[in-house]
Amino acid sequence: MLTAFARAFKTPDLRKKLLFTLGIIVVYRLGTHIPIPGVDYKNVQECVDQASGNQGIFGLVNMFSGGALLQITVFALGIMPYITASIILQLLTVVIPRLEALKKEGQAGTAKITQYTRYLTIALAILQGTGLVATARSGALFSGCTVAGQIVPDQAIFTTIVMVVTMTAGTATVMWLGELITDRGVGNGMSILMFISIAATFPSALWAIKQEGTLAGGWIEFGIVMLVGFVMVGLVVFVEQAQRRIPVQYAKRMIGRRSYGGTSTYIPLKVNQAGIIPVIFASSLLYIPALIVQFSGSQAGWAVWIQKNLADPEAASHVALYFLLIVFFAFFYVAISFNPEEVADNMKKYGGFIPGIRAGRPTAEYLSYVLNRITWPGSLYLGLISLVPTMALAGFGANQNFPFGGTSILIIVGVGLETVKQIESQLQQRNYEGFLR
């Protein structure tokens, strides 16, 4: 692999893309350390130190922002508004006929949907930025911190507007940096920024495991966690690459004196067809009740029950509901993202058929049957991977946002595999052996 990296940097245009991507990553990481105006940075650091390892319901968003959320920096909102906007637009495409028509228009329609995604991202950034400022002022951002109420000492409306505008501009800048990587870098800009945000939390989280350990100065716990992490990475790579290939045969057609068709191909149905979306949906939905309780500050019976059964990641009810939500959203997302009837109609239009299956409705029923069969192991796999930090690593002081579990490892592996494939394809175009031998 190291020699492949050397060959990639020896290729002039590919070297420019890699260096450009690295430059954008440096700019992005600098933005995650620049505090916004109106924040007492000293008090923020004190609260961050007191809340180390116990980030509460904001831990997931903080992970996606590379630790910038709890630092209340320019890029505090990170990539989350864009991710949320993209998911909302993707779901609305199925519901709103206008968006569905744009999706079918090709590149022009996709550009229009991308523009709508940008507008929605800005709107969500304003909403989330306002919520973050209100949460920081109330002291709910760092529960239990002695100076939590002094993070934003100035209560003026102008200061609030400046803080919200700064974070919204930071989100727009992150979105622009991601698009630059897509256009002029190695591609998948938003995914790469998400990869960097999560990877940035690895060193501190791993070192915290070592410091909290008691066996041989913490090195035994550190080694066990690393071993579990490598096993999980191998399992995720294996499942993410797994697919069910449905053979498709195209009949020969004579147009004039020329013969067209007669080729064989396949439809690749991935075991994890939904990707990381079900985990994000389940996490967000499960955090809403705890967020309401934290904002309300109520001590009523319903609030206590939510704190005990839903807000605690180690509670049996939390684990069970989280697992069930992941399985449900896996089937839900696959149902709206893959339309067997549309695929069957396209195959019939171009003379394609699955051997042994009649074209048309029988083909759609067969595709739906196969898709449901492979979605079950895919959804169970997502649920089990997401629960590993709670079940297997709780004894080492890890929480639900530990780097070697759930959302983080799925994104790290998925983006890593996709980036390697893109670099490998560019190397193969220049008659090299490839990125991996």
Domain 1-200+412-437 has CATH 1.10.3720.10: no
Distance CA 119, CA 96 (A): 17
Could you tell me the end-to-end alpha-carbon distance of the chain, in angstroms, rounded to an integer? Answer: 7
Q: Are 334 and 368 in contact (CB under 8 A)?
A: no
pLDDT along the chain (437 residues), means of 10: 65 85 91 86 77 56 72 86 85 83 82 91 90 79 69 84 92 92 85 85 77 73 80 85 87 65 80 84 77 68 77 76 89 86 85 84 90 91 80 54 67 82 75 51
What pLDDT, on a 0 to 100 scale, did the predictor assign at position 171? Answer: 93
Question: Phi and psi dihedrals of 356, rounded to 5?
Answer: 90, -5
Residues paired with residue 246 on neighbouring β-strands, in sequence order: 267
Q: Do the domains 1-200+412-437 and 213-404 sit in the same CATH topology, yes or no?
A: yes
What pLDDT, on a 0 to 100 scale, did the predictor assign at position 432? Answer: 47
Identify the CA nearest to 370 among candidates 391, 340, 397.
340
Hey, what amino acid is at 130? Answer: T
What pLDDT, on a 0 to 100 scale, did the predictor assign at position 116? Answer: 92
Distance CA 174, CA 180 (A): 10
Identify the CATH number of the domain defined by range 213-404. 1.10.3370.10
Q: Are 145 and 50 in contact (CB under 8 A)?
A: yes
* Residues 6 or more apart whose Cβ sits within 8 Å of residue 200: 29, 32, 66, 67
What pLDDT, on a 0 to 100 scale, did the predictor assign at position 400? Answer: 45
Whether pTM > 0.75 for this model: the answer is yes
What are the domain boundaries of the chain?
Answer: 1-200+412-437, 213-404
- Rg value, the chain, Cα: 24
Go through 126-146 and write b for each residue having 16 or more CB atoms within 10 A of its CB, e for each that does not: bebbbebbebbbebbbbbebe
Q: Are 74 and 166 in contact (CB under 8 A)?
A: yes
Distance CA 135, CA 58 (A): 11
What pLDDT, on a 0 to 100 scale, did the predictor assign at position 390? Answer: 65
Q: Which two tokens stand for residue 31?
A: 């933005």
Question: Phi and psi dihedrals of 281, rounded to 5?
Answer: -60, -50
Residues paired with residue 254 on neighbouring β-strands, in sequence order: 259
What pLDDT, on a 0 to 100 scale, did the predictor assign at position 436? Answer: 53
Distance CA 204, CA 193 (A): 19
